[in-house]
Chains A and B, each alone.
Chain A
């Protein structure tokens, strides 16, 4: 079930392969204001592990995580 979230930034890294989706997500989150939201869309399976792990470690909130046809999307609040 998807939730309504006002997005501040969107990062589409479909087509990029590990480690670049993770590096670009970290760079985008670093630039984001505290409390801001970022939507990340990727199609490299490495993000299934790495983005939730990043959120847990850095204290970001993973608001939504979904998967369809080999494509993964995440909404993260900094």
Chain B
């Protein structure tokens, strides 16, 4: 019996360490991200079928993305600003694809019923569970003011960019899988923006290191940074560690277990009152957040590092996610193309295209390079307790929510996103090239992007080693 216990315990310890404590290989995290994205798309198709069948119309899941929920928040922010007499965005309403205009603020009876609001919470939740299981949660407050400067400036750029590009990098994975023209512009724009963002960071750090070198001196070894840079609020570690873990670290996995049981109970209850699709959608987003935290999957890293430190491993992992989503969405799109009732499933996550998408994604690329994280990266890193990331995320959300309503204006569509604004199928690649042509183009484009990033990374690293 003792041997058996030892065997099970030993197996559990090894598995627990491998799965919950150590970082996952990027390819594994990428596969999990893609699986959760495909599940989310499947749940969205299923919820559409349920709505067609007359089930709860508010139980409408959407493919994975973290951005559209902002329009509900935008309503709240602009309402609040108008009450206190501050500048707010005037707008008339939101038009559904069937032509019915409704009050922008009242699209859903509760803002949390907006599917992507649940997705954002799901990623945050999944990231938190992963961080707690790995005992990596710690509230860290940077004392270096420049970090906040980067977070706020990056957050503003990303907030504006996200409105113009119709999404965030996580949305770009869904959009690439969905095969819209806008997704190609997003990837190109974020790559160009990240290039300039990386150059800005290099310029900034060179100035900074040069100024510190003047101050650094001493015998034995020289501390390059002479000022206090962070304060960990929780958990507080004792000054003289005796080798044991403080309670705030030791019990993090237990807290994760309690939160998981609670979430399962809440999701079952929510499901039983008519929201099974939104419950499943939240679970898929939680799996995404979990995989992103475990693998350290970061879009900012994938787009910026080939130009900054000369690494493209994350770029290749994201390319894997993109390609798996293209192939994974395909059967569901074909179901949509063959069933008139589910025709909308074919064009889920397709957005209009135009110069606004390119410019917006370039601005977003610069912003995410400066901030160090995009929306979904910020969510799982927020769950790790990085307070700087919270500042960037809140700035991004407030700015983009504030200006979000402009996207519904006629002038915006005419100037910045004219293609597909009238008929979204105009920018749906399978509609233009047929499915075989569209799949070949999209997979080829992503493979070429991954190769380009790998080439740039080699060039950057060679310069570093030779310089």
Contacts and interface: CB of A to CB of B under 8 A. Distances in A.
Among A19, A20, A57, A68, the most chain B Cβ lie within 10 Å of the Cβ of: A19
B301 A10 contact: no
A63 interface: no
Contact of B309 (A7, A12, A15, A23): A23
B143 A15 contact: yes
B335 interface: no
B311 A16 contact: no
B201 A17 contact: no
B140 interface: yes
Contact of A26 (B23, B221, B225, B464): B464
Contacts, number: 125
A17 B309 contact: no
Nearest to A59: B465
Interface in B383-407: 384-386, 388-389
Contacts of A53: 311, 313
Contacts of A39: 221
B246 A69 contact: yes
Given A18-B373, A19-B372, A49 B229 contact: no
B241 A68 contact: yes
A53 B317 CA distance: 15
B449 interface: no
A18 B467 CA distance: 23
A17 B372 contact: yes
B389 A10 contact: no
Interface of A: 7-20, 22-24, 26-28, 30, 39, 43-46, 48-50, 53-54, 57-58, 68-71
Nearest to A44: B386
Interface string B156-169: 00000000000000
Given A20-B201, A46-B301, A69 B221 contact: no
A13 B61 CA distance: 42
Given A9-B224, A13-B225, A27-B205, A70 B313 contact: no
Contact of B229 (A16, A48, A68): A16
Interface in B307-333: 308-309, 311, 313
Interface in B85-99: none
A41 B138 CA distance: 15
A16 B140 contact: no
B230 interface: yes
Contacts of A46: 296, 298, 301
B334 interface: no
Contact of A49 (B138, B223, B296, B386): B296
A23 to B, nearest CB: 5
B54 interface: no
Contacts of B296: 45-46, 48-49
Contacts of B249: 69
Contacts of A68: 237, 241
Contacts of B232: 43, 69-71
Contacts of A54: 309, 311
B138 A70 contact: yes
B366 to A, nearest CB: 13
B72 interface: no
B221 A22 contact: no
B222 interface: yes
A23 B209 CA distance: 10
A57 B220 CA distance: 28
B418 interface: no
Contact of B301 (A13, A18, A27, A69): A18
A9 B222 contact: yes
Nearest to B296: A49
B309 A26 contact: yes
Nearest to A29: B464
13 contacts: A10-B222, A11-B224, A11-B225, A14-B140, A16-B144, A18-B300, A19-B301, A22-B309, A43-B140, A45-B136, A54-B309, A70-B384, A70-B385
